[in-house]
Amino acid sequence: MNKLAQVEPVEATPVPVSKPARQGSLFSHARYVIGENPVTGIAFGMFVIIAACAIFGPLIAPYDPLASNTASALQAPSAKHWFGTDQLGRDILSRVMVAARLDLGIAIFSVALVFVMGGLSGVAAGFFGGWTDRIVGRIADTIMAFPLFVLAMGIVAALGNTVTNIVIATAIINFPLYARVARAEANVRRDAGFVQAARLSGNSDVRIVLTQVLPNIMPIMVVQMSLTMGYAILNAAGLSFIGLGVRPPTPEWGIMVAEGAGFIVSGEWWIALFPGAALMLSVFCFNLLGDGLRDIVDPQRRT
Amino acid sequence: MTESTSTLLDVKDLTVEFATRRGIVRAVQNVDLTVGKGETVGIVGESGSGKSVTSYAVMRILDRAGRIADGAITFSGIDVRNASESEVRDLRGREISMVFQNPRAALNPIRKVGHQIEDVLLEHLQASPQDAKVKAIEALQKVRIARPDERYHAYPFELSGGMCQRVVIALALACRPQLLIADEPTTGLDVTTQKAVMDLIVELTRENGMSTILITHDLGLASAYCDRVVVMEKGKVVETAKSAQIFKSPQHAYTRKLMRSTPRIGANLRDLLPEDMPVPLTPAKKTAGGGASLLSVSNLVKEYPRQGVGGTLATLFRRKNEFPQSEVFRAVDGISFEIKRGESVGLVGESGCGKSTTSMMVMRLLDATSGHITFDGEDIAAIPAKSFAGLPLRKRIQMVFQDPTDSLNPRFTAARAIADPIYRLGGLRGRDAVRARCEELARQVGLPVELLDRFPHQLSGGQKARVGIARAIALKPELVILDEPTAALDVSVQAVVLNLLEDLKHSLGMSYLFVSHDLNVVRLLCDRVIVMRAGKIVEEGETEAVLSAPKTDYTRELLAAIPHPPL
Amino acid sequence: MLRQIGKRLATAIPSLIGVIIVTFLLTRVLPGDPAAYFAGPAASPQAIEEIRKSLGLDKSLPEQFVRYVQDLSRGDFGKSLTTGQTVIIDIKTRLPASAELTLLGLIVSMLIAVPFGILAAVKQGSIIDHACRVIATAGVSLPVFFTGLLLVYVFYFILGWSPAPLGRLDAFASAPKHVTGFYLIDSLLAGNLESFRASLAQLALPTITLAIFSLAPITRMTRASMLAVLSSDFVRTARASGLSPRTVIVTYAFRNAMLPVVTTLGMVFSFLLGANVLVEKVFAWPGIGSYAIEALIASDFAPVQGFVLTMAIMYVLLNLTIDMLYGVIDPRVRLEG
């Protein structure tokens, strides 16, 4: 009703500035963003390496990640064992490479799960409002009433100490984030002119959600996904660090850091450092990718 | 331009550049501007003309990306361009002040307005900590704020838009500067408030012998209040003239175009079109409202629960708006009116008067609390809005939306936007047939066919408006609701779009319900007008009759608020 | 004002109810035999049966829920199998250690992050700004347990500046007389500077670990909201009125920019309380986090449940405090309703 306030766009930025910038394809915009911020390009390179480890890890690892050899226990990094060996003589490089699959797998599955659940219920809540909104809002609020990692601990403890339950717990604690973003985006668009116009064109509500609202929200949700991937990895690794989910001798970054923790005070730094660094780099990589993706999709929200 | 009075501000050859990702953009090029002591100068131009940037350069408050590339700015002997930051700071607020558009945003939302005025007084040593409060209250009193000692403690959100603008003016005039720059000071305010604010500015600046620069997109407003008018286009000054002269004998083609397209008393719709545009075949002649009744609304009511608590950042998602009190707010309070076939009816009122709610109910996007909406003999108010979308009736009532950008799905091409209603309700099947219909519609609304495959962000405002109109007429509706269809457009584009709407009405035999806040625009297109206020109809009648002899005070007030350029 | 506080308190009630229901559901409705959980892994079938009876698990769900709420209202969180104490006593004795660490971590990170974020926004595009962006992204990528280990390696093993990462006090110092449970405060109250120094030395590394962890989100938010405020209309008005940069930044921009930062604090606390658990494990900190981990490993469920409940209640109360703080800063919230 009071759109009148914007009778004339503020002209602090002259029109020719913003107009041509928005023209052109998403691709050229992506190229611009990467050109402006080469870090995104580097992050993408890192992502390819991590993904290669996750897919081909067991094939390209130099040693069997589970084979222990007490004779060569606790060796510092050398030409033979680039990352050294642990207390059982297992090759740390191989273990770090093989672990990528499990760590990424947990993160991807949990994020995909929450993407569907949180996204759909958020869109429904935002678009239809009413009791749908109230129920989804209440669920999200209740989850948010817990410190999220603590809730994840509780869920895994109650559901049982398995990898599947880590995936579920990680998805649950991310639910409010997804539901809120989707809700807010859907809510903004609920009364947008183009949605009203679609109603006038004879579209049903469900059809409007599918053809008008969802495609417009999708980019933002995808960005959200890549931003929370890092958090999901951290969360899963944190749970296994305190002894939940993954059990030894399975190679996993969190549990490997936990195993190496005891040796830090006696100076065997490599056992904890390499899996920790792998964990850190992959989270860093996903966060950078998420930021870059957001710049591409939504230039206004750049920080 | 020779001035009898001495020059206060002298801008010579000003060029302002902005660094953007596409390289350097010149927002202002070689602009010359002088303001004499006690003179009021208007800078007029459409969006992107560089008028605001010029004033920001004078105050040296350009964005980080912008810089003064060339030229000289002299303010009462001081070289502003090369002055140090602290020297300029002494000028700002004390010698040159500024009033901005959107007054509510121009004030610090979490600081009492009195304290904000004190800040300025103390900064420029116009008050001591002991008497700052007294002086701040004085400043509020000067801008005719009632009970200034109470308002001193108010936060901006507790004041109306017009009141906020008064506070901004008080802030600007607190140190009795020599020059006031008013940047679209009335944009975003209600029509009646606009006049009060403009009158206040003029009165106070005259009283103090100040000079004023009025920046506006409205040539009428500028020439009504200014001694001299500077017209800008695309960063350049195209014409400078005395107000009276500029309307009598505009020199530059752009000024003529701008002037012609400004709605004014005595001009009809065709007069607004540029000189070089071919005159449409159908003469703009008002049809006599003699047709059969198409739509009749009786006792229409829409109630909303009164909401005490709005969403805040912290509670945006947490708290649902329960409806605690049984109190309800009547947005539309029992109105009745009729639209005949082939007739255009204007629904006019200020924001919050219920005109948009009414149009949404007629549109069947919103359910009425009670009342009847009879369309061609059928009571459509009885059909819930939810199920209306699938009915054949849907085809017969369509709408053109306020904001052409907001009303187009950013992911649909123009063709797909226009084709959507055809696929859903048009009964037309087959790609080629639909495409052909889209092209036919594009030609009807004057949209080049090659633009059909573009996305909204690749189209100009006027082109987007045309896409919206093409979509609305795609199903050959009988009633089209125009919800401020030109509010987001520049005046020259507005003139063309209004003419297009008029032509389409005749060639397709449609009826219009034109919802607007602007009597001056409604007048051009409508046979009858309905004036609404606070959910009720205040006045209704033939357009000419209402405009020439308004029956109620409120309509008179609305009419008086339209600036009258000297003719 | 009192009514305002009452109103805000009321908003916390649904959250508390939600927390109680969820913790109840976690133990009773999920697959598996809760009695077996509570009895621990080594219990005989008879012991499990006894526990089932004593916990009322043979009754219907609503009855169990009523009993659960009654127990909670009496402060009965069950008994820990590993320590042999009631859970409430265990948590009471260990909570101050966790609280001292978390709060100190937050304070340290706020003291660094807020000025840093402001500086980055004010000097946009400068080296500080770029550093801020790197830290904001890198900081959230650090696994908190990994940072802790790195710090231990550098400051304990290599440099020897820090004492062994084994709890709140080294073996030779004695704990100060219990007043608040916060060693730093208690030792000062007792005038025991030696014990103050010792506990500060122990606190330093875990505090820094937590501070590094929460630095990123606070810096990022401060910078972003400061940037938004600096480009707002009212800052432009303030600048056009010739106010000094100091007034513009402090009086006009800063207070407005703090509003979203205060809101973010809720999220930061959520992360901090979680990270606290991991940090406690790394530094063998005798707080409720390591208590919960020990119980988890031993499949001793009552302490875990008590821990989750305590953390959630604390978090709800923290959010309440943040809400009230917001109300103090923002008159728009204060005057509503």
Q: Write the CB contacts of C252 (distance below 8 Å, at least 6 apart in sequence).
A: B108, B111, C229, C234, C235, C238, C243
A246 touches chain C (CB under 8 A): no
Tokens standing for B160? 């109306």
Q: What local confidence, expressed as pLDDT, does residue C337 receive?
A: 39
Domain ranges, ordered by start, for chain C = 35-76, 91-336
Residue A194 lies in a domain: yes
How far the first Cα of chain A sits from its last, in Å, is 31
Q: Tokens 């908003």 correspond to what residue?
A: C11
Confidence bin at C29 (pLDDT 50/70/90): low
CA distances to B134, B465, B484, C92 from A3, rounded to whole Å, are 38, 16, 10, 56
Domains within chain B, CATH numbers bracketed: 293-560 (3.40.50.300)
**Per-residue pLDDT tens digits for A2-44:** 333 322 333 233 333 333 334 445 666 666 666 666 777 787 8
Q: What local confidence, expressed as pLDDT, does residue C137 receive?
A: 79
Of C223, C275, C296, the CB nearest to A303: C223
Burial of A170 (0-12, 13-18, 19+ CB in 10 A): buried
How far apart, in whole angstroms, are the C-alpha atoms of residue A96 and residue B144?
Answer: 74
C312 touches chain A (CB under 8 A): yes
How far apart, in whole angstroms, are the C-alpha atoms of residue B74 and residue B80?
Answer: 6
Subunit contact C240:B92, Cβ cutoff 8 A: yes
Residue scoring higher pLDDT (A243 or B306):
A243
Residues in chain C within 8 Å Cβ distance of A244: 296
Q: Which of A270, A275, A242 is nearest to A256 (CA)?
A: A275
Report the chain A residue with the minimal C-alpha distance to residue C138: A284
Is residue B298 left, alpha or beta, with left meaning phi > 0 and alpha meaning psi from -120 to 50?
Answer: beta
- Element (H or E) spanning B156, and its range? none
φ/ψ (deg, to 5) at A184: -60, -45
**A93-97, B287-291, B553-557: segment of lowest average pLDDT:** B287-291
Subunit contact C15:A142, Cβ cutoff 8 A: yes
A189 touches chain B (CB under 8 A): no
Subunit contact C296:A276, Cβ cutoff 8 A: no
Could you tell me where the DSSP H helices lie in chain C? 2-28, 34-39, 45-55, 61-73, 87-122, 127-141, 144-151, 183-189, 193-230, 233-240, 245-247, 255-282, 288-297, 301-329, 331-334
How far the first Cα of chain C sits from its last, in Å, is 12
Q: What local confidence, expressed as pLDDT, does residue B307 receive?
A: 53
Q: Which of B446, B462, B493, B466 is nearest to B274 (CA)?
A: B493
How far apart, in whole angstroms, are the C-alpha atoms of residue C23 and residue C68?
Answer: 10
Greatest alpha-carbon pair distance for chain B in Å reads: 80
Subunit contact A147:C146, Cβ cutoff 8 A: no
Subunit contact A276:C311, Cβ cutoff 8 A: no
Residue A264 lies in a domain: yes
Q: What local confidence, expressed as pLDDT, does residue A33 receive?
A: 63
Residues in chain C within 8 Å Cβ distance of B100: 233, 236-237, 240
C233 to chain B, closest Cα gap in Å: 5
CA distances to B332, B423, C89 from B145, rounded to whole Å, are 31, 57, 63
Subunit contact A11:B411, Cβ cutoff 8 A: no
Residue scoring higher pLDDT (B508 or C335):
B508
Domains held by chain A: number? 1
Burial of A206 (0-12, 13-18, 19+ CB in 10 A): exposed
Q: Write the CB contacts of C93 (distance below 8 Å, at least 6 apart in sequence).
A: none
Q: Which of A264, A269, A270, A237 is nearest to A253 (CA)?
A: A237
Q: What local confidence, expressed as pLDDT, does residue A35 receive?
A: 65
Of B89, B91, B107, the CB nearest to C237: B107
B126 to chain A, closest Cα gap in Å: 31
Query: Is the pLDDT reported for residue A301 higher than 50?
Result: no
**B31-45, C125-139, C224-238: segment of lowest average pLDDT:** C125-139
Enumerate neighbours of B (3 or more CB pairs within 8 A): A, C
Residue A11 lies in a domain: no
φ/ψ (deg, to 5) at B22: -95, 25
Q: How would you write B510-533 as a 3-class SS string?
A: CEEEEEECCHHHHHHHCCEEEEEE
Q: What local confidence, expressed as pLDDT, does residue B436 receive?
A: 92
Subunit contact A199:B365, Cβ cutoff 8 A: yes
Coil vs helix vs strand at C46: helix
Mean pLDDT of C277-305: 87
Q: What local confidence, expressed as pLDDT, does residue B49 receive?
A: 86
Tokens standing for B84? 């140090």
Confidence bin at A228 (pLDDT 50/70/90): confident
DSSP string, C102-122: HHHHHHHHHHHHHHHHHHHHH
Selected residues 139-168 of chain B with any CB under 8 Å from a CB in chain A? none
Are A80 and A252 in contact by the 8 Å Cβ rule? The answer is no
Q: Which of C217, C213, C183 is nearest to C200 (CA)?
A: C183
* Residue environment code for A59-89, b if the CB has 16+ CB neighbours within 10 A, otherwise e: eebebebeeeeeebebbebeeebebbbbebb
C317 touches chain A (CB under 8 A): no
| Residue pairs spanning A and B at CB distance below 8 A | 150
How far apart, in whole angstroms, are the C-alpha atoms of residue C210 and residue C280?
Answer: 10
Residue A259 lies in a domain: yes
Residue A14 lies in a domain: no
Q: What local confidence, expressed as pLDDT, does residue C278 receive?
A: 92
How far apart, in whole angstroms, are the C-alpha atoms of residue A204 and residue C41?
Answer: 56
Give the mutation candidate from B102, B186, B406 for the A interface (greatest A CB count, under 10 A).
B406
Residues in chain B within 8 Å Cβ distance of C323: 314-315
B68 to chain C, closest Cα gap in Å: 17
Coil vs helix vs strand at B456: helix
Are B97 and C240 in contact by the 8 Å Cβ rule? The answer is yes
Greatest alpha-carbon pair distance for chain C in Å reads: 82
Enumerate neighbours of A (3 or more CB pairs within 8 A): B, C
How far apart, in whole angstroms, are the C-alpha atoms of residue B518 and residue A6?
Answer: 15
Tokens standing for A217? 């929200």
Selected residues 310-349 of chain B with any CB under 8 Å from a CB in chain A? 317-318, 320
How far apart, in whole angstroms, are the C-alpha atoms of residue B470 and residue B414?
Answer: 10
DSSP string, B370-434: EEEEEETTEEGGGS-HHHHTTSGGGGGEEEE-S-TTTTS-TTS-HHHHHHHHIIIII---SHHHH
A130 touches chain B (CB under 8 A): no
Mean pLDDT of B424-438: 87
Helix-helix angle B491-508:B461-473, to 10 degrees? 20
B292 touches chain C (CB under 8 A): no
CA distances to A12, B303, B536, C212 from B358, rounded to whole Å, are 36, 12, 11, 56
Residues in chain B within 8 Å Cβ distance of A36: 21
Residue A3 lies in a domain: no
How far apart, in whole angstroms, are the C-alpha atoms of residue B133 and residue C319?
Answer: 37
C143 touches chain A (CB under 8 A): yes
Subunit contact A153:C26, Cβ cutoff 8 A: no
> What CATH number is associated with residue A229?
1.10.3720.10
Coil vs helix vs strand at B281: coil
One CATH from 1.10.275.10, 1.10.287.610, 1.10.3720.10, 3.40.50.720 for C91-336: 1.10.3720.10
Q: What is the mean pLDDT of chain B?
A: 85
Q: What local confidence, expressed as pLDDT, does residue C34 receive?
A: 67
Expressed as residue numbers, the domain containing A276 is: 34-62+89-301
A194 touches chain B (CB under 8 A): yes
Are B42 and B230 in contact by the 8 Å Cβ rule? The answer is yes
Tokens standing for C189? 């109250």
B106 touches chain C (CB under 8 A): yes
Subunit contact B313:C260, Cβ cutoff 8 A: yes
CA distances to A239, B306, B328, B366, C228 from B303, rounded to whole Å, are 53, 9, 6, 11, 37
A36 touches chain B (CB under 8 A): yes
Q: Write the CB contacts of A207 (distance below 8 Å, at least 6 apart in sequence).
A: A198
Give the mutation candidate from B17, B18, B22 for the A interface (greatest A CB count, under 10 A).
B22
Residue scoring higher pLDDT (A87 or A232):
A232
A181 to chain B, closest Cα gap in Å: 11
Q: What local confidence, expressed as pLDDT, does residue A13 receive?
A: 31
Strands B78-79 and B511-516, sheet pairing: unpaired
| Residue pairs spanning A and C at CB distance below 8 A | 162
Q: What local confidence, expressed as pLDDT, does residue B431 receive?
A: 87
Which amino acid, one-letter code, is at B439? E
Mean pLDDT of B289-315: 68
Tokens standing for A64? 């069997």
At CA C165, angle to CA C159 and CA C167, rounded to 5? Answer: 150
**Per-residue pLDDT tens digits for B451-474:** 998 888 888 888 999 999 999 999
Mean pLDDT of C7-16: 81
Query: Is the pLDDT reported for residue C53 higher than 70?
Result: yes
Mean pLDDT of C37-45: 73
Q: Write the CB contacts of C279 (distance below 8 Å, at least 6 apart in sequence).
A: C101, C144, C145, C148, C206, C209, C210, C285, C289
Which stretch, A222-226, A296-300, B79-83, C36-40, has highest mean pLDDT? B79-83
Mean pLDDT of A102-121: 91
Residue A83 lies in a domain: no
**A131-140, A159-168, A182-191, C325-334: segment of lowest average pLDDT:** C325-334
Subunit contact C330:B107, Cβ cutoff 8 A: no
B266 to chain C, closest Cα gap in Å: 38
C251 touches chain B (CB under 8 A): yes
Of C14, C274, C319, the CB nearest to A150: C274
Query: Is the pLDDT reported for residue A245 higher than 90?
Result: no
CA distances to A75, A76, B488 from C157, rounded to whole Å, are 18, 16, 68
Q: What local confidence, expressed as pLDDT, does residue C235 receive?
A: 92
B164 to chain C, closest Cα gap in Å: 12
How far apart, in whole angstroms, are the C-alpha atoms of residue B547 and residue B523?
Answer: 8
Q: Give the CB-side neighbour count of residue B407, counting CA atoms within 13 A.
A: 30
Of A231, A243, A267, the CB nearest to C297: A243
Selected residues 256-315 of chain B with any CB under 8 Å from a CB in chain A? none
Length of chain C: 337
Residue A178 lies in a domain: yes
How far apart, in whole angstroms, are the C-alpha atoms of residue B375 and residue B372?
Answer: 10
Coil vs helix vs strand at B74: strand
C271 touches chain A (CB under 8 A): yes
How far apart, in whole angstroms, are the C-alpha atoms of residue B372 and residue B361?
Answer: 10
Confidence bin at A50 (pLDDT 50/70/90): confident
